[in-house]
Amino acid sequence: MGEEDRTPLSSFIRKTLAQSLSLQLLEETTSQLQNQPHFSTACSFNTNEPPRVFKTPKTNFTRNSGFSSLGSVEEISSCCWNCKTRRPFLICESCGSVQPVDHSVDYFRIFGLDRRFDIEDGSLEGMYKNWQKKLHPDLVHTKSKEEREYAAEQSARVIDAYTTLRKPLSRAIYLMRLEGVEVDEEQTVSEPELLGEIMEIREAVDEATDSQALNKIQSQMEEKLRHWCNSFANAFGSKSFDEALKSIQRMTYYHRVNEEIVKKL
Ligand SMILES: [Zn+2]
């Protein structure tokens, strides 16, 4: 039997094995789920209960204590306060009730995004507008006082999420927080090379007398920002948090210079 003949057979065996394994896994998972009451589609507590507020304690971000959003107790137990559907999201899809804020849901999930630095252009804006439309006071004004309050809180949180994720620097800092790494934005630079560069740039900005000169520095800063954004994305992707912090520090400086230029323009 030649090499060519064996390959299809072995791949066929692998495929069949994989299929039967995944089927077995599926069966096991299904039976496990059926045995766990909190995985049912509806919540089990008494439907005559008054609306319950599932307030989760505000998360404190501290180093080395990253919080996980998936599978947390809060999330599993969260049900629509009105129709008890499991895991409603901002607004219950079954009955349309506005839900109280669930802090275990991170900003990325609000917009249906993966927890990663690179986000597709426009993916944020569309979802943001969509949520703001659904939570708009005009649309919820006929609802109960509680629901109107929930809508206002959800809306404020959606705005926070959008503002944080929209800009690369704040998005990077937020991602680090989710990993339990607190970024000190006021940390002073100790690297002589970077210090020298910053001083040079500052001088150039001070001395720039016309918008042309400022625009030139601005495009240089934007390029540097792009470079360090890429560095951050790579470092974060490979969980090299020290490297990621270094990138954030540089992003912070170039971002500040950019802000100064905008003020002067
Ligand atoms: Zn509901």
For the chain, 265 residues long, give each residue's pLDDT as a single digit of tens.
Answer: 444 444 444 444 344 444 444 434 433 433 443 333 333 344 544 433 333 333 333 333 334 333 333 434 444 457 899 999 887 789 998 999 999 999 989 999 999 999 999 988 788 999 999 999 999 989 899 999 999 999 999 999 999 999 999 999 999 999 999 999 999 887 777 888 888 998 999 999 999 989 999 999 999 999 999 999 999 999 999 999 999 999 999 999 999 999 999 998 8
pLDDT at 67: 39
Residues 232, 204 within the same domain: yes
Residues 167, 89 within the same domain: yes
pLDDT at 194: 86
CA–CA dist 182, 167 (Å, integer): 18
pLDDT at 43: 56
Domain-located, residue 117: yes
Helix ranges (H only) for 41-122 are 73-77, 107-110
Residues 147, 210 within the same domain: no
pLDDT at 54: 37
- CA 195 to ligand 1 centroid distance, Å: 56
- CA 19 to ligand 1 centroid distance, Å: 37
- CA 98 to ligand 1 centroid distance, Å: 8
- CA 95 to ligand 1 centroid distance, Å: 4
Give the H or E element holding residue 226.
helix 211-237
Whole domain around residue 227: which residue ranges? 192-264
- CA 45 to ligand 1 centroid distance, Å: 14
Give the H or E element holding residue 100.
none
Domain-located, residue 86: yes
Domain-located, residue 6: no
CA–CA dist 127, 247 (Å, integer): 29
Tally of CB atoms within 10 A around 159: 14
Question: Comparing C-alpha atoms, which of 51, 157, 143 is closest to residue 96?
Answer: 143
Domain-located, residue 125: yes
Domain-terminating residue out of 178, 209, 237: 178
- CA 54 to ligand 1 centroid distance, Å: 14
3-state secondary structure of 85: strand
Residues 174, 226 within the same domain: no
Residues 153, 111 within the same domain: yes
Number of domains within the chain? 2
Domain-located, residue 239: yes
Residues 151, 199 within the same domain: no
pLDDT at 77: 54
CA–CA dist 96, 89 (Å, integer): 10
Domain-located, residue 26: no
